[in-house]
Amino acid sequence: MPDVVTFGEVMAMFVAVEPGPLDEAEHFGVRLSGAEMNVAVGLSRLGYTVGYFGAVGDDPLGVRVRRELVAEGVDTGHLVRDPGAPTGFQLKSRVLSGDPTVVYFRRGSAASRLRWSGEAEKTVRSARHLHVTGIFPALTPHTRDFTFRAVEAARESGATVSFDPNLRPVLWADENDMVDTINRLAALADTVLPGRSEGTRLTGHENPRAIADFYLNRGAREVVVKLGSDGAAAYYRTGTVWEPAFPVRVVDTVGAGDGFAAGWISARLDGLDERAALRRACVVGALATTSEGDKDGLPTRVELGELLDDAA
């Protein structure tokens, strides 16, 4: 039985070797991407058993996805191979600072055809924790149904649920539908993990406390707002805890929020208090930005302990 279950789309990621516009790139390295996968890998490296639901094509990219997740210790027993659809992929520019350009090729992918099943329900109900993002429900009606059913099953079984909006407006045909769906999912979660800018887009509030209150008033138990270079803050009805950003040399910002989520979830599963959990989340999130791959910088339990000891 897994400690944590998550689900989503794992894509192959072709990263330009040379800095510059994507249309001028001639050489690419291959890695994997996917917000939920990043969280799964982060938690696995920290010592948790993680079950991952998804689908890949019957193609070389799908083989690579399965091989790398197995190597990371993630349970791929629920990773479906769909011979009728391809594994999604993306192109990503290389940058020396700031955010890279990312172009997706995921329409009609194997993951977009994944449907809820009795096996999925059984596995979700057996876990201690379910992690969900706002990406998967944006793909198709099937994946939206899967997401809501998973959250409902987790709540009924007594598992805790974390939700990261992970806004991808390009995946949504309608802004209002995006905001409504994301906020309905957030209201079903114990923990909501928005970034400050996406929180503003979803709630209409610019102040982090107001963003948090929006979700606390709708049922969330805690709201942790990622504030970028200003660190992060965890909000409760009874108060607020703030933690500064952990200083690192940033190579690529993609995946920082996923690392943050992995750090926070692991800390809460360990029974750490809010301040210690926030500290761990900030550290793991920062480490995710120290490499070009979305998950390459995520630490093991030993590496994390050494960093926290050094910082202390």
- By annotation, the residues acting in catalysis are 258
**Residues 6+ away with beta carbon under 8 Å from 217:** none
Residue with tokens 């194997």: 110
Residue with tokens 């989340």: 281
Q: Are 36 and 255 in contact (CB under 8 A)?
A: no
Report the alpha-carbon distance of residue 109 to residue 205 in Å, rounded: 35
Report the alpha-carbon distance of residue 298 to residue 74 in Å, rounded: 14
The one-character DSSP state at 297 is T
Query: Among the residues of 158-248, which ranges form H helices?
Result: 175-187, 196-203, 208-216
Q: Are 225 and 240 in contact (CB under 8 A)?
A: no
Per the structure block, which two tokens stand in for 246? 């952990």
